[in-house]
Amino acid sequence: MIFETHAHYDDDAFDTDRDEILRLLHEKGIAPIVDIGASVKSTEEAFLLAHKYDHVYAAVGVHPSDSADLTEKDIEWLKGLTEDPKVVAIGEIGLDYHYDEPDKEIQKKWFVRQLFLAKETGLPIVVHSRDAAADTLEILSRDEFRGLKGIIHCFSYSFELAKKYVEMGYLIGVGGVVTFKNGRKLHEVVRQTPLENIVVETDCPYLAPEPYRGRRNSSAYLPYVIEKIASLKGLSYEEVRRATYENAAALYGVRKDE
Ligand code: NI
């Protein structure tokens, strides 16, 4: 089995064949799958998918790019969802300074608020951080958030930073980008990060690995990611598959036995 730690099957890109894909993935041994909320609407849909499929679980949370209209009422609603056994994480939450909106202070406010939610509920976090290395590290390093566990998803920074996160107890999420020719920085991160701190993810429908780059991604392509990690680290496919499965199962607290 392969553990898919980060997918968005609630996305419109899967409207025509969502059920077929999720059923096929299970047959192909890709399970569990964690469907990650990114807005109020997608969190709602992730929650429904998790209840429709035995092998699908949900992360509930609001992505920084969708945080502009958040209210304390939404946080209370998220908190209510966390009482459900199929909700396994708070995410994706974080900071995205790639675009100017929403304002950095608004993004930080809701990132911090959702980190407190993770702390209150004891759930791990799924962190999205893009062009925001310093502020993400500063916030996650605060005393009040020490002891939180989670995944730094679609890791795009240097090995030095990956090392800091590993020392803090975080896992590094590796996806399709690792197969790209221009993925040198990430190759270095993968080579040097201990296997016990790596999990695999797709972020589908985005970021399909080679040879499918640019097309709609799906968890069926995770073997390409595992293969690339294995080759970068000089390990077998099976060693990487098993370790990334165990790392994810321990973090999310769920497994679909092999
Ligand atoms: Ni995502």
pLDDT at 258 over 70: no
* Average pLDDT estimate for 44-61: 97
Phi-psi region of 154 (alpha: psi -120 to 50; beta: other; left: phi over 0): left
Contact 140, 168 (CB under 8 A): yes
Nearest to 250 by CA among 136, 137, 89, 129: 89
Q: What is the tens place of the pLDDT at every residue in 208-235? A: 999 999 999 999 999 999 999 999 999 9
Cα 56 to averaged position of ligand 1 atoms, centre (Å): 15
Cα 65 to middle of ligand 1, angstroms: 12
| CA 170 / ligand 1 centre spacing (Å) | 17
Q: Both tokens of residue 195? A: 């296997």
Would you say the pTM of this structure is higher than 0.85?
Answer: yes
Listed by start position, the domains of the chain span 2-252
CA–centroid distance, residue 36 to ligand 1 (Å):
7
Distance, in Å, from the CA atom of 202 to the CA atom of 3, rounded to the nearest integer, reads: 11
pLDDT tens for 98-113 read 998 999 999 999 999 9
Q: Hey, which bits of the chain come out as E strands?
A: 2-7, 30-36, 56-60, 87-96, 125-130, 150-152, 171-174, 198-200
Better-scored residue on pLDDT, 183 or 143:
143
Calculate mean pLDDT across residues 54-81. Answer: 97
pLDDT digits (tens, 9 = 90+) for 21-43: 999 999 999 999 999 999 999 99
Q: What is the mean pLDDT of residues 61-66?
A: 96
Q: What separation in Å is there between the alpha carbon of 230 and the centre of ligand 1?
A: 23
**In the structure encoding, which two tokens stand for residue 166, read together?**
């590993």
Q: Which amino acid is at 219?
A: S
Q: What is the pLDDT of residues 176-203, one digit of tens each?
A: 999 999 889 999 999 999 999 999 999 9
pLDDT confidence bin for 256, thresholds 50/70/90:
confident
Give me the count of residues in the chain: 258
Q: What is 2-252's CATH superfamily?
A: Metal-dependent hydrolases (3.20.20.140)
pLDDT of residue 257 exceeding 80, the answer is no
Question: Which residues have beta carbons under 5 A from ligand 1 (an ion)?
Answer: 203
Supply the DSSP symbol for 125: E
Could you tell me which residues are beta bridge partners of residue 134?
A: none
